[in-house]
Amino acid sequence: MFVTKKMSFSAAHRLFNPKLSEEENREIYGKCSNPHGHGHFYTLEITVKGKIDERTGMIINIDDLEDVAKKEIIDKVDHKNLNLDVDFLKDTIPTMENLAKKFWEILKDKIPKGELYKIKIYESGNNYVIYKGD
Amino acid sequence: MFVTKKMSFSAAHRLFNPKLSEEENREIYGKCSNPHGHGHFYTLEITVKGKIDERTGMIINIDDLEDVAKKEIIDKVDHKNLNLDVDFLKDTIPTMENLAKKFWEILKDKIPKGELYKIKIYESGNNYVIYKGD
Amino acid sequence: MFVTKKMSFSAAHRLFNPKLSEEENREIYGKCSNPHGHGHFYTLEITVKGKIDERTGMIINIDDLEDVAKKEIIDKVDHKNLNLDVDFLKDTIPTMENLAKKFWEILKDKIPKGELYKIKIYESGNNYVIYKGD
Amino acid sequence: MFVTKKMSFSAAHRLFNPKLSEEENREIYGKCSNPHGHGHFYTLEITVKGKIDERTGMIINIDDLEDVAKKEIIDKVDHKNLNLDVDFLKDTIPTMENLAKKFWEILKDKIPKGELYKIKIYESGNNYVIYKGD
Amino acid sequence: MFVTKKMSFSAAHRLFNPKLSEEENREIYGKCSNPHGHGHFYTLEITVKGKIDERTGMIINIDDLEDVAKKEIIDKVDHKNLNLDVDFLKDTIPTMENLAKKFWEILKDKIPKGELYKIKIYESGNNYVIYKGD
Amino acid sequence: MFVTKKMSFSAAHRLFNPKLSEEENREIYGKCSNPHGHGHFYTLEITVKGKIDERTGMIINIDDLEDVAKKEIIDKVDHKNLNLDVDFLKDTIPTMENLAKKFWEILKDKIPKGELYKIKIYESGNNYVIYKGD
């Protein structure tokens, strides 16, 4: 049994690898490497796997899951610049893939009941990544 | 190969375990334990696994799947109070998790072709559960 | 210039006119008159008309609009039974139309800047009403 | 008869009025005034009013409308920083309201058939503005 | 007060004016003039204007509105070819604009309570027309 | 780690097995076997599985994935009749299931980085298939 909480946040980012030249960055990331950055409305889905607790009929109280995700992730990235404002993203190119991996690492030991199963991030309505750990 | 039918229903429910006190219920379920209940617009996805039938090019006629789900589930829960009006939910706390399990039990022997693979229930656009059997 | 805030709430209701017989109610409201009620996920859009304030570039700070709507409406109807739990709906059949009219009356003198222009309520993804005052 | 084209763009912005202090900006715009900016996925709807052309059965070829909007607006704001990268937004606080007004001014004389009737901008799924000219 | 019912249908069509040459059609309609046609998932919104009936709390029973629209429109266009299968579209180029006008003409005298106010047709998620009569 | 690109196309089709009689086709496919065909707005999701490339922070540049899918699939089916206009669907009943299988076969050796993991096709908002290869 799997339960999922969907949340969202707005953030700016620039895709840019400082070890590469301007030209290489432009070639890899196209308009996503524009110097002043651009923005996205991200959707984050956090899925927890577990058994139904007979007493509550729930795997986990989804409000508790939301509280953890809000405190550990959303409050740190919402209305921020992902290249400049977020401690745990320092030295990380803020692609969807890297966000998913970082969010997984942050959340995997903080789920109050059940275990973290999946992180899904939509960068737009048409692009998303899924990470289930290694 | 997997084929999925999405359907929806409106229902009222109250999250409340009669074996616990008012206070315990309030602590576990928060505003979801309000005495007079509240409502949701549920989305139900039923996924069937099977092989393509060469004659029809389909795993299962999705209208047949819809007919079964309508008869066995939707007609019994739509525009109903899940705590009071539904026989198969008697003595069950109507959480998303318990709904998914009950729907699975009801449907698993009634799929006309292929086999039931997954039940997904959205309680709102932001919360959902998935059940694939034990 | 018009600015709109969209919010949502879950509520149970029963469509029933106590001045009419069971049969008349059943005929008018169909399954919406089921005795134990049923539920909906409502979406509420509040539109304010005004001029751009040169100093802020905004008609109204949309967070202020949200605060008013949350306090005056959402907190009073979310996770409630609209027939039993809401003071301002006493003696009102809780149809979409009546909700729109009541919300309008409550909000029209409480908008901090600009003036209330439109109330839109979705009872489901497929049914909605719009009210702009008399 | 009205025809509408919906398009979208991703952009970063910071809400900040340089004539006001840091504190005043923080008070007015909240987290939207964070120094490094944040991002949005904007949806833009352009509505043209006109009569059906008997020869084509259309008011305007919606692809022509899209071409104009793409050239005049989308290409200039998509994947850009609205405070720094967009000529026509220099000296403008990039609120939804100001974007709507600027887009109107740019498009109103460039619609190939019919006349511009409405600009609608969603800054997120829950906030939008509408501008129909003065 | 306005109440709206949203419905949908799947149909094939080809945009083609038989009085024009192949080349002219290709120039006007582009890929929409492909000889074997193509398809759309249309969404239709029908808006009725009226007063709240004190007895029912409704302008019109939205199920009655749905019944009329289903009988007069949806049953005649769903899973059909709009160029070949629909009597009321004979000799009409099946653009969104012409559909809206035809649907208006069909429905305007058949609304059981209140009066027809608006027809909105989405040909895709990104293109729509609105018609309110002449 | 999985990355998904969502794209869409409009197409007409008729479900019909030429080896069966009119009556058998009508019985199997219902209104989907109407002689002149009907249409759909299809959504296609292509999921690629791979590891994060340290240099780019991405599994695959999602624009490269889009380019392949556009060239190999979308350009060949968009605004087409799936029974008559598409070479790789000759002698195939154009059900969702068969489309998924054909798209898989076409794409599986053409993914520039990582490997094809999943094809998901929505024929409408309420019906979809998933194929992950044999």
Residue C16: closest C-alpha in chain E: E56
When pLDDT is cut at 50, 70 and 90, the band that residue E124 belongs to is: confident
Return phi, psi of residue A78, to 5°.
-70, 130
Handedness of CA F93, F95, F101, F104 (dihedral sign): positive
Chain F residues with CB under 8 Å of A17 CB are: 55-57
Nearest-neighbour CA in chain D from C54: distance (Å): 9
Q: What is the mean pLDDT of residues E23-31?
A: 92
CB atoms F127 and B61 under 8 Å: no
DSSP A91: T
Nearest-neighbour CA in chain B from C67: distance (Å): 20
Please check whether residue D100 is in contact with residue D130, taking contact to mean a CB–CB distance below 8 angstroms.
yes
What does the block give as tokens for A105? 């690492």
Given the DSSP bridges, would you call strands C2-13 and C80-81 parallel, antiparallel or unpaired? parallel
Interface test with C, best of B38, B42, B78, B90 (most C CBs within 10 A): B38
CB atoms F5 and A126 under 8 Å: yes
Chain B residues with CB under 8 Å of F96 CB are: 3, 58
Residue closest to B41 by CA, chosen among C21, E63, A124, C39? C39
pLDDT for the residue numbered F39: 85
The answer to whether residue C11 neighbours chain B at the CB level (below 8 Å) is yes
Residue closest to A7 by CA, chosen among C107, B124, C125, F29? B124
Chain B residues with CB under 8 Å of C89 CB are: none
Q: Which of F79, F97, F105, F115 is catalytic?
A: F79
Question: Which are the catalytic amino acids of C?
Answer: 32, 79, 123
Q: Which residues of chain D have pLDDT under 70?
A: none
The answer to whether residue A37 neighbours chain D at the CB level (below 8 Å) is yes
CB atoms B12 and C41 under 8 Å: no
Structure-token match 């403008």, residue found:
D92
Please give the angle made by the CA atoms of D46, D47 and D49, to the nearest 5 degrees: 150
When CB atoms are compared, the residue of D78, D79, D124 closest to A10 is: D124
Mean per-residue pLDDT of chain A: 95
Cα(C45)–Cα(B2) distance, integer angstroms: 38
Chain D residues with CB under 8 Å of A79 CB are: 31-32, 34, 38
Cα(C110)–Cα(E91) distance, integer angstroms: 54
Residue closest to B96 by CA, chosen among B37, B47, B134, B44? B44
* Complex confidence, ipTM: 0.92
Cα(E47)–Cα(E4) distance, integer angstroms: 4
Residue E72 catalytic?
no
Structure-token match 């740019």, residue found:
D106
CB atoms B127 and A63 under 8 Å: no
Interface test with B, best of C13, C14, C31, C79 (most B CBs within 10 A): C79
pLDDT for the residue numbered D64: 95
The answer to whether residue E56 neighbours chain C at the CB level (below 8 Å) is yes
CB atoms D126 and C58 under 8 Å: no
Of residues A39 and C94, the one with the higher pLDDT is C94
For the beta carbon of residue F55, count every other beta carbon within 10 angstroms. 12
Question: Which fold is adopted by the domain E2-12+40-131?
Answer: Tetrahydropterin Synthase; Chain A (3.30.479)
Residue F79 catalytic?
yes
pLDDT tens per residue, range D27-52: 999 989 988 888 888 999 999 999 99
Question: Which are the catalytic amino acids of D?
Answer: 32, 79, 123
Chain B residues with CB under 8 Å of C79 CB are: 31-32, 34, 38
- CA distances to E22, E38, F38, F44 from F13, rounded to whole Å, are 23, 8, 6, 16
Mean per-residue pLDDT of chain C: 94
- Residue F17, pLDDT > 90, answer yes
When CB atoms are compared, the residue of A4, A58, A61 closest to B128 is: A4
pLDDT tens per residue, range F46-102: 999 999 999 999 999 999 999 999 999 999 999 999 999 999 999 999 999 999 999
Residue closest to F31 by CA, chosen among F12, F14, F11? F14
- Residue B71, pLDDT > 90, answer yes
Please check whether residue A76 is in contact with residue A69, taking contact to mean a CB–CB distance below 8 angstroms.
no
What does the block give as tokens for E26? 């290709």
Q: What is the mean pLDDT of residues A32-51?
A: 93
pLDDT for the residue numbered B125: 81
- Residue B73, pLDDT > 90, answer yes
pLDDT > 90: percent of chain C = 89
- Residue E134, pLDDT > 90, answer no
CA dihedral A124, A125, A130, B1 (to 10 degrees): -160
Q: What is the mean pLDDT of residues B98-125?
A: 96
DSSP C86: -
- CA distances to B48, E29, F57 from A93, rounded to whole Å, are 39, 44, 6
pLDDT tens per residue, range A87-128: 999 999 999 999 999 999 999 999 999 999 999 999 988 999
CB atoms F85 and E34 under 8 Å: yes
Buried-exposed string D57-74: b where 16+ CB fall within 10 A, e elsewhere? bbbbbbeebbebbeeebb
Q: Which chains touch C (3 or more CB pairs under 8 A)?
A: B, D, E
User: From its phi and psi, is residue F30 left (phi > 0), alpha (psi between -120 and 50) or beta?
Assistant: left
Structure-token match 């942050």, residue found:
A106
Chain D residues with CB under 8 Å of C63 CB are: 30
Q: Which residues contact F30 (CB under 8 A, 6 or more apart)?
A: B63
pLDDT for the residue numbered C29: 93
Q: Which residues contact C76 (CB under 8 A, 6 or more apart)?
A: C86, C87, C88
pLDDT > 70: percent of chain A = 100
Helix residue ranges per DSSP H, E70-130 = 75-77, 96-107
- Residue A134, pLDDT > 90, answer no
Q: What is the mean pLDDT of residues C94-102?
A: 97
Q: Which of E32, E45, E66, E72 is catalytic?
A: E32
The answer to whether residue B118 neighbours chain A at the CB level (below 8 Å) is no
DSSP E68: H
The answer to whether residue E32 neighbours chain F at the CB level (below 8 Å) is yes
Residue closest to E123 by CA, chosen among E26, E22, E11, E3? E11
When pLDDT is cut at 50, 70 and 90, the band that residue C133 belongs to is: very high
pLDDT for the residue numbered C124: 83
pLDDT for the residue numbered C86: 96
CB atoms B61 and F96 under 8 Å: no
Q: Which of E27, E38, E79, E115 is catalytic?
A: E79
DSSP F33: G
When pLDDT is cut at 50, 70 and 90, the band that residue C35 belongs to is: confident
- Strand, helix or coil at F13? strand
The answer to whether residue B56 neighbours chain C at the CB level (below 8 Å) is no
Nearest-neighbour CA in chain A from F16: distance (Å): 32
Size of interface B-C (CB pairs under 8 A): 77
What one-letter code names the amino acid at A62?
I
Please give the angle made by the CA atoms of C7, C11 and C16, to the nearest 5 degrees: 125
Cα(C38)–Cα(C24) distance, integer angstroms: 19
The answer to whether residue D63 neighbours chain E at the CB level (below 8 Å) is yes
Query: How deeply is F81 buried, as exposed, middle or buried, from its count of CB atoms within 10 A (0-12, 13-18, 19+)?
Result: buried
pLDDT for the residue numbered D125: 81
Please give the angle made by the CA atoms of F102, F108 and F112, to the nearest 5 degrees: 135
